[in-house]
Each structure stands twice: as C-alpha cells, then as structure tokens.
C-alpha cells in the first residue's frame, strides 16, 4: 500500500520528504502546514498538505518559497 501524501516519511517525485505536521494554518483553504525536507540538499520548509505531492525544493530546484514553520 502506498502512504498518504501527508504521512511522515512520504516522499514525492521531486525527492521532498514529509517530516511532520505543524499546528500552523497553511495559506490555502482549510489547509495545515507540514514540514518538508529536501532529500537532495536538506532544506526544510513549510507546505500546504494539499501541495505536498507536487512540491519542489525552493532552495535548489526552483520551487515556490516555503511557508513559515515557526523558526
């Protein structure tokens, strides 16, 4: 069985891995912010849950700027 795209450990096709869920709202309707980590450069950033499957790294792969993850 494949994992849901918001479960910790899920990796999308762009090598972005789900680290954890936060308590912070996302910037899209009814979304929560999740922390993703780029498996290629180690950058961590926030993403709407609904965007995880298609997210690209904002640090090295031209993805959109990540959401705040509180630090």
- Considering the rule CB under 5 A, would residue 64 count as an interface residue with Zn ion? no
> What b/e string do you get for 19-43 counting C-beta neighbours within 10 Å, with b at 16 or more?
eeebebebeeeebbbbbbbbeeeeb
Q: Which is nearer to Zn ion, 16 or 33 (CB)?
A: 16
Q: Identify which of residues 3 and 60 has a Cβ nearer to Zn ion in the complex.
A: 60
Tokens 């912070």 sit on residue:
24
- Please report whether residue 57 would count as binding Zn ion according to CB under 5 A: yes
Please provide residue 27's backbone torsions phi and psi, each rounded to the nearest 5 degrees: -110, 20
When asked if residue 41 is in the footprint of Zn ion (CB under 5 A), the reply is: yes
Residue with tokens 């180690």: 42
Nearer residue to Zn ion within complex by CB, 19 or 59: 59
Residues near Zn ion (CB under 5 A) are 38, 40-41, 43, 57, 59-60
């Amino acid at each position: 069985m494949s994992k849901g795209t918001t479960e910790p450990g899920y990796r999308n096709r762009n090598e972005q891995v789900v680290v954890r869920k936060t308590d912070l709202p996302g910037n899209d309707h009814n979304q929560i912010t999740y922390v993703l980590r780029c498996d290629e450069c180690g950058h961590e950033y926030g993403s709407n849950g609904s965007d995880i499957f298609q997210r690209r790294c904002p640090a090295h792969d031209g993805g959109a700027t990540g959401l705040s993850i509180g630090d």
